[in-house]
Amino acid sequence: MKRVLLGMSGGVDSSVTAVLLQRQGYEVLGATMLLNEEQQGLDDARYVCQKLGIEYYIIDGKKEFKKYVINNFNNEYIEAKTPNPCVECNKHIKFDFFYKKAKELNCDYIATGHYAKCEYSEKYNQYVLKVAEAEKKDQSYFLYGISKKVLEHVIFPLGNYKSKDEIRELAKKMELPVASKSDSQEICFIQDNNYAKYVCKKCNICPKSGNIVIYNDGKKEIIGKHNGIINYTIGQRKGLGIAYKEPLYVIKINKDNNELVVGTEENLYKKILYANNLNFLIPIYNNMQVWAKIRYRAEKSKAKINFEKDNVKVIFEEPQRAITPGQSVVFYDDDILIGGGIIY
């Protein structure tokens, strides 16, 4: 019997995943990675494991989580970028550190409650990561950083289900106590979702006020004051505190001058972006035609990838709204995930 180490958050997705794995004939071990002192869900995860008769472990990952996720999060915001901590967490913690722990426990596979698929592709003659059937819940965007070597040892049992409602119904039929439990918050280590306050406290910095500027015919005009560039992101309209003849949005954050550059909606659209910190899961080539997403909730758009040393230049067929440094651009071949990188 193959052994699988399942990452359990105490939520409905990972709990249903445990039952599905058992039904598929795996010997399941449950584990929760302890990532911060305020972490919730351990009691629920332990209870589900007891109910299902599977071993349960708590793995201390606080040191690794701080190194790879929290420090990156703080540093990116200080550099006037908008990071995606889930991308870093999946890459370094849930599918690297966790896999190493699985091997220590003599497990053949790791599994999670992510909405994605991992299947063998005849086209590429290897295991590939694919979009989930529940497209609105699909999480493949966050998973492009997984190592190719780990991918063939990953199981995503929820990938073929159509919706989260279907998973909740399964949980009720399975009589799991977490069937009606609400989804987790957006950033797990920030309780009130106030990222600016969190970064300032952790890094002992005080945001400095600066100018909000607009360019008209190449001439810079100061039209207001901001309360610290850490509080803003590309595409933001609310909270600027300025009056103008038409709606204005943040189109650039100039860290060196402590300035917010604003413009009209049409100024937000661009056809070209550059990315680094790349990871590709299938073979690629220069000038490759792909489908690309510049953020999790964005629609996929046609684009071409051109390599420039260790970076890529991505050219879209149609202009993209609010391309944001720090976010990830992720590439697809139809429903197969090609890879991705960090926009700069």
> Mean pLDDT for the chain?
96
The pLDDT of residue 254 is: 96
Catalytic residue ranges: 89, 188
pLDDT at 185 over 80: no
CB neighbour list of residue 100: distance below 8 Å, 6 or more residues apart: none
Q: Tokens at residue 32, please?
A: 């929760």
Residue 313 structure tokens? 């230049």
Residue 342: closest CA among 50, 169, 88, 19: 88
* pLDDT for the residue 149: 95
Residue 192 has pLDDT above 90, yes or no: no
Phi-psi region of 123 (alpha: psi -120 to 50; beta: other; left: phi over 0): alpha
Please give the full DSSP string across 43-87, using - where no structure is assigned. HHHHHHHHHHT-EEEEEE-HHHHIIIIIHHHHHHHHTT----HHH
pLDDT value of residue 191: 84
Identify the pLDDT of residue 11: 96
- pLDDT tens digit sequence for 84-127: 999 999 999 999 999 999 999 999 999 999 999 999 999 999 99
pLDDT for the residue 176: 95
Counting Cβ atoms within 10 Å, is residue 15 exposed (0-12), middle (13-18) or buried (19+)? buried
| 186 has a pLDDT exceeding 80 | no
pTM above 0.85, yes or no: yes
Lowest mean pLDDT among 19-23, 151-155, 181-185, 337-341: 181-185
- The yes-or-no verdict on residue 198 having pLDDT over 90 is yes
**In the chain, what percentage of residues exceed pLDDT 90?**
94
Amino acid at 251: I
Domains and CATH numbers, the chain: 3-173 (3.40.50.620), 207-263 (2.30.30.280), 268-343 (2.40.30.10)
Q: Which residue has the tokens 């071993």?
A: 55
